[in-house]
Structure 1
Amino acid sequence: MAKLLFKMRNVLDDEAQDVRELLEDNKIDYFETFAGHWGVSLPAIWVKNDDQHEIARSLLDKYQAERTAKIRKEYELSLRQGKVKSMWHNFLETPIKFVVYMGLVGLVLYLSLQFFLSF
């Protein structure tokens, strides 16, 4: 019976491709399900053979630990180089757009809370 290995909802394409290659390189039989036309199904990778599930799980855990370390290192490097944008950077780049969006947020909050604040 097939076992769920990896849920693919909101997974980046490069990560999904890496997982597929990892399974193929290690000769693990798998199949993939997709979200369908309306996105209500479970997009995932399933291992066909129960005996291979533990091997696939350990390979996937190792891959995800390596990927997490790599992404964190890239983020820290970007942070040190000043490439990570903050809310202040967004304001400096497009102040009018920023002020309009904050005004819309304030309007939505006001309209949402007006009933409760009128008592």
Structure 2
Amino acid sequence: MSVLIFRLNGVPDDEAADVRALLDEHGFAYHETTGGFLGFGVAGLWLLDDSHKAAARAVIDDYQRSRSARLAAEHEAARLAGRAETTPQRIARHPVQSLFYIAGAAGVLYLMLWPFLTLGR
């Protein structure tokens, strides 16, 4: 029976390609599904033989640990070199989007506090 081994929702294309290559390299038979037309389905990689789940999961976990360490080192190097984008730079690059997010957060905060602010009236 097939078993979901790796979800593809929100995964960068390079990571998905690397995981496919790892599964091929280690000889795991799998098939891929998409989220469907409206995105309600499960986009993922499914092992065809569930008895290989532990071994495949170990291979993917090792890959993800090394990828995480590599990306963290790259980000730290970019930060030290002054190439990493900071929050003020991101806000300056997308001012309208930033204002929309701040207004939304303020609106949610107001709606959450409104019952307490009107409690004494």
Partner of 1:26: 26
Partner of 1:76: 76
Partner of 1:41: 41
Gaps of 5+ in 2: none
Partner of 1:66: 66
Structure 1 residue 82, shift from structure 2 partner: 1.4
Q: 8 Å contact 1:90–1:98 — kept in the other structure?
A: no
TM-score, scaled relative to structure 1: 0.78
TM-score, scaled relative to structure 2: 0.77
Structure 1 residue 83, shift from structure 2 partner: 1.6
**Alpha-carbon distance in 1 for matches of 2:111, 2:11:** 33
**Alpha-carbon distance in 2 for matches of 1:101, 1:45:** 36
Structure 1 residue 14, shift from structure 2 partner: 0.0
Q: 8 Å contact 1:4–1:44 — kept in the other structure?
A: yes
Percent identity between matched residues is 26
Give the root-mean-square deviation of aligned CA atoms. Answer: 2.9
Counterpart code for 1:46: W
Q: Please state whether the residue corresponding to 2:32 is helix, strand or coil.
A: strand
Q: Please state whether the residue corresponding to 1:31 is helix, strand or coil.
A: strand
